[in-house]
Structure 1
């Protein structure tokens, strides 16, 4: 068994404004709190937001001209008018198109419109322009600023916003979104109807969870956070984040290091039970990934046909061919941590393997066909497991549709955790990790090259290895997911996305782990 100090290996990153994610309602409440309790006028906040956005505009696209700002109503539209005013004062060729009639603007948004108009910004109304003139304005733009729909908008965009969004998505010039891309749900990252695809999104006050969940990463592009000098971590605003964002950069320092007296018995024995007939590669990928992630010993229980290929590929593995559940009982007894599911199929063989794993009560990672089998029959609910479903598997476990899962990934992960206990790792764009206590956690970033068979098998192996080394289940899931993605990003720099394979990711992990190791500084033991 592992003898690592699990107290130091269970801590997760502290919640700060730089990684806390809030719902749209919470951000609006924080905004109102700042105005009412700290005496900062709403128009001043709007000016700060516009100044921050304009700085990013100049930093990213100093040569882009002309600048076209599309303005809606409310504070988002007000931000747009003030951005246009700033651009005009700095001598840029800028033009506004009002998608919301200026006469209907109220409060700070109306004041922003009046300022832009007084500063000499050219402002046209969308509905007053002929279609040809609107198209000419869009096509000739060197940069488009999206200030149409803010965080308070729900449901599919209506006209004229629908047409404006669709037209922007057909442009070749960059698009900067103000606070949130128009049409994107600021809380869930879901898109109803259409949403604007931004090159960059400048978001204010607090980070919105929808920018990092579901379709958020695709539509938001690069996200830049500006706190408008509010430092909300120090404010007693009373709002609780809906999730915590993390990346390899924020958790890599928590990789367990090895003392000089290290030996293999201190870093866990992982047993991978995987690979029914026709799916031998799944078990090998999981086992090899576990070996590359620091496990002291790794065993693989698979169909006898795959013993020789597995040893040829990875001779450090202890491989056992098994045809019946009775043959795996002793292997389970000898292991610290179990990984079950990749390629086990849904026949009697897979059912027997899963039953033995669940009855053992040992720490375990359940993935792939283990989850599909669980969706068809009652399974033991326990706190000692990590479940790693993709949206399809999650939908089967929850008896709902994939669309239901993707519409609100945080809610889906929470439902899975309440139903099955333990730690839930909901894979996909904006990976969510929920443990019912410290989370949920959202992985920052994504890589389209990972959309290929075997990636999830490798991830399961990494989680199993970290569990075996003494990390708490939630910490193991967070570290493994971040390492997996970072390695995929690193490998894709050399291979691109289309050619990326799971074994490329496993190989790339070595360099990342080597960089994270600082001998003598954080000795564990």
Structure 2
């Protein structure tokens, strides 16, 4: 269900376990450098002139072997820092051991590489990217292709590093797997979502309660509720303020609708929660004092797994719950939860998700092209199957409904969140029109994705 994502130290452990290492290091380097040359020629078959920029470490050694293999194949391959006039640049400056910001001389080389119109093939990791975190503290190579060895590195799938990697090819160099802290979600997760069995009724297939809505944002809880049903929940109750009921009755056919008044909202919703398996709080609920107080009271008093999203995250304070809790912020929302700038979250996504999970005692799903699912005291899961078309209003509400459905079916909260993000991304990717994709398109595509 998961793919290993390696840190620099975990790669060192994998290499150290290779028979005869370090005496056999040259065998690994030969395979690595040959793989780079092979993939570079495959990606750019018409290119004749290759500039190979080599550093002084093992990554530079891989680059020198790649240059030799390119020459043996009849290409011109020059080991140089002068990249002008070449058709392809091979970046072998820094490897997986790099962290921090490049020194001035190396930074100048990286800037020359990025200024060139030639496409770049990065060796193992684009130079300037931290392989263990994806963080970028200075200039970093913008690669068109990264040939990485043995397995993907964390920094190739976590932003901002992932945006420097281009297309990633994994080259087998003969290493055995070791356990890694970080994992990448795969579509195999979808096979473990419980399906409705012959003996199930609508009340045993997963009952979800969605709480949200305010005038002007009624569509958000409707999207969450319909997504929960399309994610195979058997029964969904949609609780909204009475003022929203006419719109909800028009937009949502299948969910059972429940109106509430703010004065007695908590009691009304708790009664509905008595027969639910999971609750989704927040889509479109607004940021009024009444809404914030309601969210707090419901989290205090409803002993059900909960997805807390959107407006319910506004002003949220750490609050211990016995039941599973999944927070689903984007970078701006997570910044408010941590009291930091959104730019800091964008630059330190793994650290931000981990800090929030520990502070709130919850599973945190940090949305993005590299959605990160982080439980307190656990390693991160990265779900990166979402296409760019998912950057559209309402897509987060859909994700909330999917995760709520999976929690209602009894999935562990980390698995529910990672599986939800994976299903969400796959559904979006299968929509025929990527331009102009809207959230309801993703809802409609969920059953096929789960099948």
Matches within 5 A, 1:40-79: 40-79=23-62
String of CA shifts for 1:127-151, please: whole Å, max 9, x gaps.
xxxxxxx53x2xxx33221111222
Query: Aligned residue for 1:454?
Result: 394
Per the TM alignment, residue 43 of structure 1 is displaced from its structure 2 partner at its CA by 2.3
Q: Is 2:6 the counterpart of 1:22?
A: yes
Greater than 6 Å deviation, 4+ residue runs: none
Query: Aligned residue for 2:159?
Result: 214
Q: Is the 8 A contact 2:353 2:374 kept in 1?
A: yes
Total equivalences in the alignment: 447
Query: Aligned residue for 2:137?
Result: 192
Query: Aligned residue for 2:359?
Result: 419
Return the match for 2:110 from 138, 142, 165: 165
String of CA shifts for 1:411-460, please: whole Å, max 9, x gaps.
32222222222322122232221224664211134432222322111101
Distance in 2 (alpha carbons) for counterparts of 1:171 and 1:302: 56
Distance in 2 (alpha carbons) for counterparts of 1:446 and 1:402: 21
String of CA shifts for 1:277-320, please: whole Å, max 9, x gaps.
33212111111111111111111111223323223222111112
Per the TM alignment, residue 33 of structure 1 is displaced from its structure 2 partner at its CA by 5.0
Deviates more, 1:402-411 or 1:216-225: 402-411
Return the match for 1:322 from 250, 256, 260: 260
Say if 1:495 and 1:22 are closer, same or farther in 2 by CA, change over 3 A: closer
Return the match for 1:509 from 408, 433, 446: 446
Say if 1:488 and 1:380 are closer, same or farther in 2 by CA, change over 3 A: same
Q: Is 2:295 the counterpart of 1:357?
A: no
* Larger CA Rg, structure 1 vs 2: 1
Q: Secondary structure at the match of 1:193?
A: coil
Query: Aligned residue for 1:268?
Result: 206
Distance in 2 (alpha carbons) for counterparts of 1:169 and 1:323: 58
Q: Is 2:417 the counterpart of 1:494?
A: no
Say if 1:264 and 1:437 are closer, same or farther in 2 by CA, change over 3 A: farther
Return the match for 2:100 from 131, 139, 155: 155
TM-score, scaled to structure 2 = 0.92
Q: Is 2:410 the counterpart of 1:470?
A: yes
TM-score, scaled to structure 1 = 0.80
Distance in 2 (alpha carbons) for counterparts of 1:405 and 1:69: 34
Q: Is the 8 A contact 2:15 2:21 kept in 1?
A: no
Q: Is the 8 A contact 1:69 1:147 kept in 2?
A: yes
Distance in 2 (alpha carbons) for counterparts of 1:457 and 1:282: 6
Q: Is the 8 A contact 1:183 1:191 kept in 2?
A: yes
Per the TM alignment, residue 209 of structure 1 is displaced from its structure 2 partner at its CA by 0.8
| Structure 1 unaligned spans of 5+ | 1-12, 100-125, 127-133, 234-239, 517-525
Say if 1:156 and 1:423 are closer, same or farther in 2 by CA, change over 3 A: same
Q: Is the 8 A contact 2:385 2:422 kept in 1?
A: no
| Structure 2 unaligned spans of 5+ | none
Q: Is the 8 A contact 2:315 2:337 kept in 1?
A: no
Distance in 1 (alpha carbons) for counterparts of 2:371 and 2:149: 23
Q: Is the 8 A contact 2:386 2:426 kept in 1?
A: no
Deviates more, 1:194-203 or 1:326-335: 326-335
String of CA shifts for 1:85-140, please: whole Å, max 9, x gaps.
1010111232221x4xxxxxxxxxxxxxxxxxxxxxxxxxx4xxxxxxx53x2xxx
Say if 1:190 and 1:482 are closer, same or farther in 2 by CA, change over 3 A: same
Return the match for 2:313 from 364, 371, 390: 371
RMSD: 2.2
Per the TM alignment, residue 383 of structure 1 is displaced from its structure 2 partner at its CA by 4.2
